[in-house]
């Protein structure tokens, strides 16, 4: 399992290769140094980084269950989330639009040669009612969807992709690890989501999807799944360019898996460095609860033309958010290491 000191030397362009090179170095959490004191220190560091504006992310510092709930409970909870009324679609930037549900998000990037969609919600019904209908309400043509980037291989993100691929010929993009997971053994399997898409475009760390005047760089950020992707791209607002990162997978819903938590922590730390290097000043999510997107879209609907865009947080805040996720992952890792 990778050691944090080893991974800190990993450059953005060689992350996957370096992970393999570091794999045999024991992690700090496994060499006997995890303790209640280290857990408290990580939670304190996360709390400090969260400040007064990133409190929602601190939920990650709460103890996570060592095993998943029974499938019947998962299905019941999922149905309750899907049944919540969907928020209105909204324009976050001049070229970035929210077309999601109450719980799970989908984002449409408008380019000079069509649309790049990030995630596809739970199923065909939501793809039609929320993505297609939402895009039309915003003046976008869903037939212009050229790519569907699936951030990770869970059905609330790939569910509508087969429908969009079949109807519009959209190419579906996912990491090789998560394509393999959807083809072999799904982490979460429920008829609510239906079958995953067929393997199409498989990407690796640092690959780009380019359409017209827009490029989306796909960073492999393993943790939430083994092949989670975090896209980075430019957004325009009133003549100004902003750099956006969508963190591809947030929760620790994979049970007692210390290597996954180590990967998550290192992914967050690495992307904080990317955020600083690229002046990324916007961090969004594929779940509205995480990024507060519904509140921000509501602010945009009622704000005047000269008001600042609430999605623009500034690079230091993006770095702080990633630090919260890093420290909470380390706290959870140490909890699991201490468990018998």
Determine contact, residues 282/243, Cβ cutoff 8 Å.
Answer: yes
Lowest mean pLDDT among 37-41, 79-83, 148-152, 162-166: 79-83
H or E element that contains 158:
helix 155-158
Average pLDDT of the segment spanning 7-36: 46
* Domain containing residue 161: 4-338
- Between strands 201-203 and 282-285, the pairing is unpaired
Per the structure, the count of domains in the chain is 1
What is the pLDDT, as a whole number, of residue 288? 96
pLDDT tens string 41-92? 999 999 999 999 999 999 999 999 998 878 888 889 889 988 899 999 999 9
Q: Contact at 8 Å (CB) between 220 and 208?
A: no
Instruction: Give the total residue count for the chain.
Output: 340
> Does the pLDDT value for residue 25 go beyond 70?
no
Q: Mind listing the pLDDT tens digit for each residue in 274-320? A: 999 999 999 999 999 999 999 999 999 998 667 899 999 999 999 99
CATH of the domain at 174: 3.60.15.10
Residue closest to 177 by CA, chosen among 122, 222, 231, 230: 222
Whether the predicted pLDDT of 105 surpasses 90: yes
């Amino acid at each position: 399992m990778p050691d944090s000191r080893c991974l800190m030397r990993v450059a953005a362009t060689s992350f996957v290769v370096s992970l393999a090179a570091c794999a045999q170095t024991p992690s700090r959490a496994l060499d006997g140094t995890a303790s209640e004191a280290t857990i408290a220190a990580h939670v304190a560091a996360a709390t400090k980084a969260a400040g007064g504006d990133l409190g929602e992310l601190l939920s990650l510092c709460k103890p996570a269950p060592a095993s998943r709930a029974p499938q019947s409970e998962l299905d019941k909870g999922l149905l309750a989330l899907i049944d919540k009324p969907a928020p209105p679609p909204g324009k976050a930037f001049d070229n970035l639009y929210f077309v999601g549900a109450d719980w799970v998000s989908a984002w449409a990037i408008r380019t000079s040669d069509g649309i790049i969609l990030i995630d596809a919600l739970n199923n065909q019904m939501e793809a039609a009612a929320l993505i297609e209908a939402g895009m039309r309400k915003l003046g976008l043509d869903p037939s212009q969807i050229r790519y569907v980037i699936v951030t990770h291989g869970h059905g609330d993100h790939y569910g509508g992709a087969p429908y969009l691929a079949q109807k519009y010929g959209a190419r579906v993009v996912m990491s090789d690890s998560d394509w393999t997971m959807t083809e072999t053994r799904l982490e979460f399997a429920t008829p609510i989501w239906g079958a995953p898409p067929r393997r199409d475009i498989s990407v690796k760390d640092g690959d780009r999807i380019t359409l017209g005047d827009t490029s989306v760089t796909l960073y492999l950020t393993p943790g939430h799944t083994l092949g989670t992707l975090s896209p980075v791209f430019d957004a325009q607002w009133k003549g100004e360019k902003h750099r956006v990162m969508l963190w591809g997978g947030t929760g620790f819903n994979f049970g007692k898996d210390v290597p996954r938590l180590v990967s998550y922590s290192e992914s967050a730390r690495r992307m904080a460095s990317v955020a600083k290097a690229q002046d990324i000043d916007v961090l969004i999510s594929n779940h509205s609860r995480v990024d507060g997107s519904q509140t921000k879209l509501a602010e945009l609907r009622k704000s005047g033309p000269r008001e600042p865009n609430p999605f623009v947080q500034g690079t230091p805040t993006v770095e702080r958010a990633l630090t919260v996720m890093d420290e909470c992952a380390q706290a959870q890792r140490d909890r699991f290491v201490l468990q018998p």
